[in-house]
Amino acid sequence: MRRYISASLVLFAVVAACGSGDKPAGQAADSAATSRAPSAEAAPAAGASAATELTAADLDAYAKGIARETELVRAAQERARTATTPQARGEAQQAQWEDQTIPEGAKAAGLTPERYRAVRTTVHTTFQWLDFQGKIDGPMELDTARAAPEMKARFGRDPFAELSPTSREALQAQLNRLVPPWIEYVKLTAVAG
């Protein structure tokens, strides 16, 4: 299983670097580890300047939103597990995709879907790189032996480098609170709970 996750993450990184954007979690070559992993919206892209400015209020909203998304994914996985028809199973699988969960996460966060997605992308990208580098104890790995040169270069960079000093400070101040729900979400979506 560990080898499968590692290989899938390399594929995720390649897809992410190509800018696959807002694909649902179950598309784009299984974005992180398996068919329900976070999509390339949280993808690392060398030199990307799309990091959103973060405030403490944004991060509080993110915590509410990701908790809601996690609830939705769990419920959809249970529906998929108990579905009696292929159609019902397929609908339950699709209900786990980000294009389905992000709008509800935004409502829970009290943000517009666009703002929530931007905050979420910035947080997820930063956490993914912290995890790839072993700076947090998450489920992601990156096989640098097979990574493209730009991915290898990115691997050595500071995961907070694309954030403004204010955003960096806000996110670092809440790492202990925000990393656990992110890990829970990634594990749930990457390996189906």
| Domain regions of the chain by residue span | 2-190
**C-beta neighbour count of 113 within 10 angstroms:** 15
Q: What is the dihedral of CA 191, 172, 142, 34, to 10 degrees?
A: 20
Summarised one tens digit per residue, pLDDT across range 63-118 is: 999 999 999 999 999 999 999 999 999 999 999 999 999 999 999 999 999 999 99
For the entire predicted model, the pTM comes to 0.72
What sign results for the dihedral spanned by CA atoms 3, 4, 9, 12?
A: positive
